[in-house]
């Protein structure tokens, strides 16, 4: 295991030199694999991997993107060495955290912090667009303990009694010339670092209108993933420019100079995942 870890760490500089177009994760439903009874859950889950542990140097374990079919879900399970968050982008789903369940309407999500349990179930007759983000207490530290509970037909709380986030545009605030960019961008920090026990730092929600941009900047203490929820535009990273569109995930390593431009006719909407090199860092 120690030899493997050393080899893994030696590959990181090489991975960072891949062209930007090859580093971007791209959602492709034709590549979704079907998994039944995930963590003893109901029905099926359809998903693929957008980003893996080799993508960043911080403790991102994976970024999964998929669909929860009608009457499908992920069963109740614990994480003791990592944190995970299910996000839905449309429709609705029943989220369980620590045995309490409420319905959230997309786009929304709920983090499962270390030492806690969670599950998700789609009780509707429509598929729900879904994402799973996993961050470890250390690199590659994935763990799960199943409880054998599919969370079907459980009692619901009218209001969630667990931490959750709404990716609601009505909550955004205007920011002029964000990081030296053009125009006015709409922004909100949906989840701050105080929410998490690991080095997971934040979730941001940003909408870039047509003609506007996020100016070029870099972080020395935080790595980021810009996931495109809607729209299209350009990602500019370390002098490379690459078109991006809905379903793309742009990973940004420590020190990457990056900015984003909306050169289209519709809003460019991001969910930004921040993972710190050291807990509490935001630079």
Given this model, what pLDDT does residue 140 score? Answer: 85
Among residues 115, 150, 165, the one where a domain terminates is: 165
Given this model, what pLDDT does residue 13 score? Answer: 43
Q: How far apart are CA 148 and CA 19, in angstroms?
A: 43
Q: Are 160 and 173 in a shared domain?
A: no
Range of the domain at 137: 18-165
Q: Are 114 and 247 in a shared domain?
A: no
pTM, rounded to two decimals:
0.93
pLDDT in tens, 15-57: 445 899 999 999 999 999 999 999 999 999 999 999 999 999 9
Q: Are 50 and 131 in a shared domain?
A: yes
Q: Is 9 exposed, middle or buried (0-12, 13-18, 19+ CB in 10 A)?
A: exposed
Q: How far apart are CA 251 and CA 90, in angstroms?
A: 23
Parallel, antiparallel, or unpaired for β 33-36 and 92-97? unpaired
Q: Which domain CATH number covers 253?
A: 2.60.120.10
Given this model, what pLDDT does residue 17 score? Answer: 56
- Across residues 115-121, what is the average pLDDT? 98
Among residues 165, 195, 213, the one where a domain terminates is: 165
- 282 token code pair: 């935001």
Given this model, what pLDDT does residue 6 score? Answer: 38
* Closest C-alpha to 118, from 105, 140, 133: 133
Residue 139 banded pLDDT, cuts 50, 70, 90: confident
Half-sphere exposure for 37 (CA within 13 Å, toward CB): 5
Q: Are 106 and 130 in a shared domain?
A: yes
- Across residues 138-147, what is the average pLDDT? 92
What is the chain's mean pLDDT, rounded? 94
pLDDT in tens, 209-231: 999 999 999 999 999 999 999 99
Q: Are 160 and 183 in a shared domain?
A: no
Q: How far apart are CA 122 and CA 69, in angstroms?
A: 7
Residue 6 lies in a domain: no
Q: Are 106 and 35 in a shared domain?
A: yes
Residue 180 lies in a domain: yes
CB 46 within 8 A of CB 32: yes
Q: Are 141 and 189 in a shared domain?
A: no
Q: Answer whether the bond into residue 69 is a cis peptide, omega within 30°.
A: no
Residue 10 lies in a domain: no
- Is a pLDDT exceeding 80 seen at residue 127? yes
Residue 12 lies in a domain: no
**Contacts by 53-57 with C-beta closer than 8 Å and gap 24+?**
53/139, 53/140, 54/8, 54/11, 54/12, 54/15, 55/15, 55/23, 55/25, 55/251, 56/223, 56/225, 56/251, 56/253, 56/275, 57/12, 57/223, 57/253, 57/254, 57/277
Distance of CA 115 to the CA centre of its chain: 20
Among residues 165, 180, 204, the one where a domain terminates is: 165
Given this model, what pLDDT does residue 202 score? Answer: 97
Q: Are 135 and 219 in a shared domain?
A: no
Residue 4 lies in a domain: no
- Is a pLDDT exceeding 80 seen at residue 151? yes
pLDDT in tens, 152-199: 999 999 999 999 999 999 999 999 999 999 999 999 999 999 999 999
């Amino acid at each position: 295991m120690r030899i493997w870890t050393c080899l893994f760490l030696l590959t990181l500089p090489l991975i960072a030199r891949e062209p930007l177009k090859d580093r971007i994760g791209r959602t492709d439903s034709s590549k979704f694999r079907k998994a039944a009874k995930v963590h003893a859950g109901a029905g099926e889950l359809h998903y693929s991997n957008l980003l893996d542990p080799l993508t960043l140097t911080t403790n991102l374990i994976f970024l999964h993107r998929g669909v929860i079919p009608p009457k499908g879900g992920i069963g109740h399970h614990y994480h003791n060495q990592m944190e995970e968050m299910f996000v839905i982008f449309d429709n609705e789903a029943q989220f369980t955290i620590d045995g309490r369940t409420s319905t959230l309407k997309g786009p929304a999500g709920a983090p499962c912090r270390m030492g806690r349990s969670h599950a998700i179930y789609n009780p509707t007759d429509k598929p729900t667009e879904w994402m799973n983000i996993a961050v470890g207490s250390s690199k590659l530290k994935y763990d799960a303990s199943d409880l054998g509970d599919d969370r079907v037909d459980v009692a619901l709380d009218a209001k969630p009694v667990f931490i959750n986030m709404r990716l609601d545009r009505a909550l955004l605030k205007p920011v002029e010339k964000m990081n030296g960019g053009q125009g006015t961008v709409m922004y909100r920090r949906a989840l701050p670092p105080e929410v998490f026990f690991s080095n997971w730092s934040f979730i941001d929600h940003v909408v870039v209108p047509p003609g506007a941009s996020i100016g070029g900047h870099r972080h020395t203490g935080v790595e980021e993933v810009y996931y495109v929820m809607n729209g299209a535009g350009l990602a500019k990273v370390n002098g490379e420019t690459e078109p991006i569109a809905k379903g793309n995930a742009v990973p940004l390593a420590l020190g990457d100079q990056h900015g984003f431009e909306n050169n289209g006719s519709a809003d460019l909407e991001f969910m930004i995942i921040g993972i710190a090199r050291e807990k509490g860092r935001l630079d």
